[in-house]
Amino acid sequence: MSRAINFGAGPAAIPLEVLQEAQEQFLDFNGTGISIMEASHRSKAYEGVHNNAIALMRELYAIPDDYDVLFLQGGASLQFAMIPMNLTLGGKVQYVDTGVWSSKAIKEAKIQNLNVEVVASSKERNYDYIPENIVFDDNADYAYITSNNTIFGTQYREYPSTKAPLVVDASSDIFSYPIDWSKVSLMFAGAQKNAGPSGTTIVIIKKSLLDRVGENVPTMLRYKTHAAENSLFNTPPTFGIYLLGLTLQWIKRQGGIKAVQANNEKKAKLIYNAIDNSNGFYIGHAQKSSRSLMNVAFNIKDKDAEIEAKLIKLSEKSNMIGLKGHRSVGGLRASIYNAVSVEDVRALVDLMESFAKENS
Ligand SMILES: *Cc1c(COP(=O)(O)O)cnc(C)c1O
């Protein structure tokens, strides 16, 4: 067996221990004689998996009792539509545009003919920063941000304060730092970046928001439906939720969210130092104050596509995958989610340093 070092943006690296545990239990889950994939979502075996994942998430992420934890499908992208469907009261909704994913969310709200306001944007600089001093209208139906911009490699240091319910797309940085829940009313994430495989969407929502939903919203698209049934209204993505639970157990074994956060800071520092100490050979896309701890997007000087391709090729020879940057930034992108280790990042930094020496 040969495992690659996976710097892919998503679906992304899953801790090896999690994969091995799943492998051991794959054919016979806990003496049931069947795979957990084959178990009814109404069975005792699955019920334990489901409720343990929720309990562990509440414990590790310190989610207050007045929030529901939901497991949905349709990816983060369906949330772009469900949020306006469920939260609007007919007033205005406000967004910050910090990249491709925010823009897509804005588009979905506009499709629903809402009064959509973009209160801040970094579009004019190809999204290389997070706007400062963001002011939402406290009377907005909700205020929306993307906490980590996967493509551009920018991240909020602190969420903006507002009395309007704050909605956070945390698809690419969920479980990577502790949350001040007094600031957040709804957080959502597709699981496939930092929380397991694709197929499960995590929604953490303040219960007081559940009753806002209008009469014309279809049953499956109401948060209320899923909250009332503990995310078992219909068949949930059982195998994904199982792996999410194993991933949460792994986070707990690491020492919890704060320990994972410290590790993430260490990893990000290694790469950003390599960029900053390269005498301009490497150029980070994000402005320093907005740098993401999860996705490091960078170019080689003069955006030399040939040399960038050469480095990507060389990385592949060194057993690293997923470093090609998104087309809207070009260059390279190292996604260093929770499951990517400090040693993995050191290997990349070593390669970057020797490559810069040879090609400067
Ligand atoms: C990947 C990503 C999405 C889209 O997720 P899907 O599950 O593919 O719909 C949305 N927002 C952010 C921040 C992402 O990184």
Instruction: Answer for the pair 299, 331: CB distance below 8 angstroms, yes or no.
Output: yes
Q: What is the pLDDT of residues 270-291, one digit of tens each?
A: 999 999 999 999 999 999 999 9
**Annotated catalytic sites, by residue?**
101, 169, 193
Pick the CATH number of 257-359 from 1.20.1290.10, 3.90.1150.10, 3.40.50.300, 3.20.20.70: 3.90.1150.10
Please tell me if the CB atom of residue 99 comes closer than 6 angstroms to any atom of ligand 1: no
Whether the predicted pLDDT of 120 surpasses 90: yes
pLDDT of residue 43: 98
Q: How confident is the model at residue 67 (pLDDT cuts 50, 70, 90)?
A: very high
The pLDDT of residue 106 is above 80: yes
Which tokens in the block code for residue 113? 């003919």
Quick one: tokens of 210? Answer: 């559940």
Mean pLDDT, the chain, rounded, equals 98
Total number of residues shown for the chain? 360
CA of 279 to the centre of ligand 1 (A): 34
| Ligand 1 and 146: CB distance under 6 A | yes
Q: What pLDDT, in 10s, does the model give residues 288-329? A: 999 999 999 999 999 999 999 999 999 999 999 999 999 999
Average pLDDT over residues 218-247: 98
What integer pLDDT is reported at residue 2 of this predicted model?
A: 87
Q: How many CA atoms lie within 13 A of 187 on its CB side?
A: 24
**What number is the average pLDDT over the span 163-192?**
98
Q: What is the mean pLDDT of residues 164-170?
A: 98
Tokens at residue 156, please? 């909020």
Determine what percent of the chain is predicted with pLDDT higher than 70: 100
**Helix, coil or strand: residue 116:** strand
For residue 239, report the distance from its CA to the centre of ligand 1, in Å: 20
Cβ of 101 closer than 6 Å to ligand 1, yes or no, is: yes
Residue minimizing CA distance to atom 2 of ligand 1: 171
What does the block give as tokens for 92?
């205005």
Tokens of 211: 């009753």
Atom of ligand 1 nearest to the CA of 146: 13
Give the pLDDT confidence score for residue 1 in this predicted structure: 77
**Class for the domain spanning 16-254:** alpha beta
The rounded percent of the chain whose pLDDT value lies above 90 is: 99
Instruction: Please compute the mean of the pLDDT values over residues 108-117 and round it to a whole number.
Output: 97
- Phi, psi for residue 87 in degrees, rounded to 5: -110, -15
Q: How far is the C-alpha of 169 from the C-alpha of 79, rounded, in Å?
A: 9
pLDDT score at 62 = 98
For residue range 122-141, list pLDDT tens digits in order: 999 999 999 999 999 999 99
The residue extents of the domains of the chain are 16-254, 257-359
Query: Closest ligand 1 atom to the C-alpha of 147?
Result: 13
pLDDT at 74: 98
pTM > 0.85? yes
